[in-house]
């Protein structure tokens, strides 16, 4: 089962780096739900394997980890909580 997370990116991460990351999410079985415009972040459904990969710092782009924080776990449900 995939759960939703808000993934924020480090300062200075380029749009190309984020685009590459989003491609990795989508091709790895996840889904980008929303790209946030006010902050450098996305909401994405990720698989448990993807989450482990991203949290371990194993996702590298140009030898630098682009992920600042993964948090705000949102359990996927069929109905809105409010």
- pLDDT per position in the chain (82 positions), as tens? 568 999 999 999 999 999 999 999 999 999 999 999 899 999 999 999 999 888 887 665 555 689 999 987 666 555 544 4
Asked if residue 9 lies in contact with residue 25, where contact means CB atoms within 8 angstroms, the answer is: no
**Domain with 64 in it:** 3-74
Sign of CA dihedral 11, 17, 23, 25: negative
CATH of the domain at 22: 3.30.70.80
Token code pair at residue 10: 């480090």
User: Does any domain span residue 81?
Assistant: no
Q: How many domains does the chain have?
A: 1
User: Does any domain span residue 25?
Assistant: yes
Residues in the chain: 82
User: Does any domain span residue 79?
Assistant: no
User: Does any domain span residue 65?
Assistant: yes
């Amino acid at each position: 089962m995939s759960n939703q997370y808000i993934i924020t990116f480090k300062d200075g991460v380029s749009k190309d780096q984020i685009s590459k990351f989003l491609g990795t999410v989508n091709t790895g079985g996840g889904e980008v739900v929303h790209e946030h415009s006010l902050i450098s972040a996305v909401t994405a459904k990720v698989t448990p394997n993807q989450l482990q990969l991203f949290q371990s710092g194993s996702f590298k782009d140009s030898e630098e980890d682009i992920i600042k924080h993964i948090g705000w776990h949102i359990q996927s449900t069929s109905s809105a909580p409010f």
